[in-house]
């Protein structure tokens, strides 16, 4: 069984970062480095992109008109839309731009008019209640039909699904699934991860299950719930909307998402806990461990905890200082609630291919001192990219909670 945990790299991806909740020792207790050969490097250079595309977006420079009534400027709901848009606008080496603009709420007939001028057109983001041309009602009359959906307008003058060039697209929110439609102050509004998924559809991306099987190991916003764009996503957009070559150092930002299982049968798992329940017995990155003597064991397996880590290189080029790649380490650290930090694993990445996904999976031995950290409160587990000895290279990471209990009987 193949286990992958997704971690992003991007030029600007502040929305999926979190700062450590406790101080991090700049020189933590060292761990024995793992050899670089344990990494698998999956690149996008062999993909037949036409097998991954459902349509061509003819005009990749467009305004996205967002409903002021339900997503007012300055609201948390609008911020999610703006965050998703920023991920696409930050793709270096791509000829695209999305400008978020304001619009009043429009009816379905206004949103999906069939007499559009198929030159450059405005895309819309709004709630829909009744007529919607791109998704059939279910037996409950919309209730569970969809939550968000991208609907494209084609050169032939109609909305729907197809492989022809699309002039524009609209992202619709099902008002029967989101309470926020009736109450703009409610918290039940679409999140950036899901909005980015629909924007990807607008650019012509297909769901991962529709890809050739050999490519399904790659992580994408097209699998859903990815808090940003992966190397696959940026390569897709660059491939169909190429701009000036992107040059610069490797910029890696881990994210908390993973996919586990065989290609075509994925489950989505966050860095500390399952996101979507599944009846299959998939191992996840541990969140609960226990002390046995000076050893730390996984509550779920009674064995040393196994972690899966992945990072993406979003850069089209990674020349570093202009002459050589930037050497990086992927560090997994644990910080106690009192602020003591230990380095659990240091994984030298070495040279990372552009537009690639690098991944590692292995058992982690905790230093004996950690056995004394048993508490009912969580410690901070952090996966970060570390450019040791290199000035000016930002070191980003993602945090998760790890609970250490004194005996297996105390496991949940």
305/395 same-domain check: yes
Task: Give the separation between CA 11 and CA 359, rounded to whole angstroms.
Answer: 20
Last residue of a domain, one of 179, 204, 229: 204
Interhelix angle 76-89/192-202, rounded to 10 degrees, is 50
User: Can you say how many angstroms the Cα of residue 197 is from the centroid of all Cα atoms in its chain?
Assistant: 10
Q: Is 50 strand, coil or helix?
A: helix
**Does 224 reside within a domain?**
no
129/265 same-domain check: no
**Does 237 reside within a domain?**
no
Per-residue pLDDT reduced to its tens digit, 168-218: 999 999 988 888 988 888 888 999 989 999 999 999 999 988 888 888 878
340/394 same-domain check: yes
Look at residue 368 in the predicted model and tell me its pLDDT.
93
**Does 152 reside within a domain?**
yes
**Does 254 reside within a domain?**
yes
20/86 same-domain check: no
Look at residue 273 in the predicted model and tell me its pLDDT.
39
384/300 same-domain check: yes
Burial of 260 (0-12, 13-18, 19+ CB in 10 A): buried
Count of domains observed in the chain: 2
Strand pairing class (341-348; 379-386): unpaired
| DSSP element (H, E) containing 358 | strand 356-363
- Rg, C-alpha atoms of the chain: 23
Q: How many CA atoms lie within 13 A of 101 on its CB side?
A: 11
| Residue 64 · residue 100 · CB < 8 Å | yes
CATH code: domain of residue 191: 3.40.390
**Does 212 reside within a domain?**
no
**Does 218 reside within a domain?**
no
Q: Is 355 strand, coil or helix?
A: coil
31/58 same-domain check: no
Task: Give the separation between CA 114 and CA 57, rounded to whole angstroms.
Answer: 17
| Residue 359 · residue 383 · CB < 8 Å | no
| Residue 400 · residue 271 · CB < 8 Å | yes
Token couple for 203? 């650019």
Q: Is 51 strand, coil or helix?
A: helix
| Residue 226 · residue 193 · CB < 8 Å | yes
289/399 same-domain check: yes
Look at residue 326 in the predicted model and tell me its pLDDT.
58
The 10 Å Cβ neighbour count of residue 175 is 17
Look at residue 132 in the predicted model and tell me its pLDDT.
85
Query: DSSP letters along 107-173, please?
Result: -HHHHT-S---SSS--EEEEEESS--TTS---TTSSTTT-SEEEEEEETTS-EE--SSEEEEEEEEE
Look at residue 352 in the predicted model and tell me its pLDDT.
74
Query: DSSP letters along 206-246, please?
Result: --GGGS-GGGTTS--GGGS--SS--HHHHHHHHHHSB-SPP
13/79 same-domain check: no
34/166 same-domain check: no
Q: Is 398 strand, coil or helix?
A: strand
Task: Provide φ and ψ at 367, rounded to 5°.
Answer: -60, 145
Q: Please state whether 225 falls in left (phi above 0), alpha (psi between -120 and 50) or beta.
A: left
Residues 6+ apart with CB under 8 A from 108: 128, 129, 130, 131, 132
Range of the domain at 121: 54-204
Q: pLDDT tens, position by position, for the chain (412 residues)? A: 222 222 332 222 222 223 333 334 445 554 554 443 456 788 898 899 999 999 899 999 999 999 999 999 999 999 999 999 999 999 988 999 999 999 999 999 999 998 888 877 899 999 998 878 888 777 777 777 788 999 999 877 789 866 678 999 999 999 888 889 888 888 889 999 899 999 999 999 999 888 888 888 788 888 867 778 889 999 999 999 998 876 665 655 555 445 555 444 445 444 433 333 333 333 457 889 999 999 999 998 899 988 877 778 887 765 544 445 556 778 889 999 999 999 998 888 777 778 888 777 788 999 999 999 988 889 998 888 776 655 555 556 778 889 999 999 999 8
3-state class percentages of the chain: helix first, strand second, coil last, to nearest 5:
15, 30, 55
Q: What does the chain come to in residues?
A: 412
Last residue of a domain, one of 151, 179, 204: 204
41/126 same-domain check: no
**Rounded to the nearest 5 degrees, what angle is found at the Cα of 88, between the Cα atoms of 127 and 315?**
160
Look at residue 247 in the predicted model and tell me its pLDDT.
63
Task: Provide φ and ψ at 60, rounded to 5°.
Answer: -80, 5
272/401 same-domain check: yes
CA dihedral over 91, 95, 99, 100, signed as positive or negative:
negative
**Does 185 reside within a domain?**
yes
| Residue 298 · residue 18 · CB < 8 Å | no
> Nearest Cα to 65, choosing from 156, 154, 169?
169
Look at residue 319 in the predicted model and tell me its pLDDT.
53
11/124 same-domain check: no
In this structure, what DSSP letter does residue 15 have? G
**Does 228 reside within a domain?**
no
């Amino acid at each position: 069984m193949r286990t992958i945990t997704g971690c992003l790299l991007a030029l600007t991806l502040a929305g999926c970062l979190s700062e450590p909740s406790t101080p991090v020792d700049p020189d933590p207790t060292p761990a024995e480095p793992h050899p670089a050969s344990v990494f698998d490097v999956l690149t996008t250079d062999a993909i037949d992109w036409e097998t991954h595309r459902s349509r061509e977006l003819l005009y990749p420079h467009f305004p996205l008109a967002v409903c002021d009534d339900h997503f007012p400027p300055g609201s948390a709901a609008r911020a999610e839309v703006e965050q998703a848009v920023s991920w696409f606008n930050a793709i270096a080496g791509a000829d695209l731009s999305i400008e978020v603009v304001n619009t009043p709420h429009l009816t379905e007939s206004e949103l999906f008019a069939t007499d559009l001028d198929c030159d450059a057109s405005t895309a819309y983001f709004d709630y829909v209640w009744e007529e919607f041309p791109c998704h059939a009602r279910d037996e409950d009359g919309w209730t569970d039909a969809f939550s968000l959906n991208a609907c494209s307008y084609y050169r032939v003058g109609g909305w729907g699904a197809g492989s022809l060039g699309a002039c524009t697209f609209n992202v619709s929110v099902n008002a029967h699934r989101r309470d926020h439609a009736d109450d703009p102050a409610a918290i039940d509004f679409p999140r950036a991860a899901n909005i980015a998924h629909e924007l990807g559809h607008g650019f012509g991306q297909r769901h991962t299950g529709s890809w050739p099987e050999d490519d399904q190991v790659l992580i994408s916003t097209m699998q859903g719930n990815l808090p940003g764009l992966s190397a696959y996503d940026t390569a897709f957009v660059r491939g169909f909307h190429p701009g000036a070559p992107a040059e610069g150092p490797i910029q890696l930002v881990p994210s908390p998402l993973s996919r586990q299982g065989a290609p075509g049968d994925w489950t989505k798992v966050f860095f500390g806990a399952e996101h979507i329940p599944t009846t299959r017995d998939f191992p996840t990155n541990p969140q609960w461990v226990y002390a046995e003597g000076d050893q730390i064991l996984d509550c779920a397996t009674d064995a040393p905890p196994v972690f899966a880590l992945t990072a993406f290189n979003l850069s089209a080029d990674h020349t570093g200082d202009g002459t050589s790649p930037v050497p990086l380490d992927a560090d997994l650290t644990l910080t106690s609630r009192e602020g003591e930090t230990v380095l659990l694993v240091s994984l030298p990445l070495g040279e990372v291919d552009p537009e690639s996904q690098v991944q590692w999976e292995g058992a982690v031995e905790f230093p004996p001192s950690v056995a004394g950290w048993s508490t009912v409160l969580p410690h901070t587990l952090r996966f970060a990219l570390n450019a040791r000895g290199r000035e000016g290279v930002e070191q980003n990471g993602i945090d998760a909670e790890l609970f250490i209990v004194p005996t297996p009987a105390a496991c949940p």
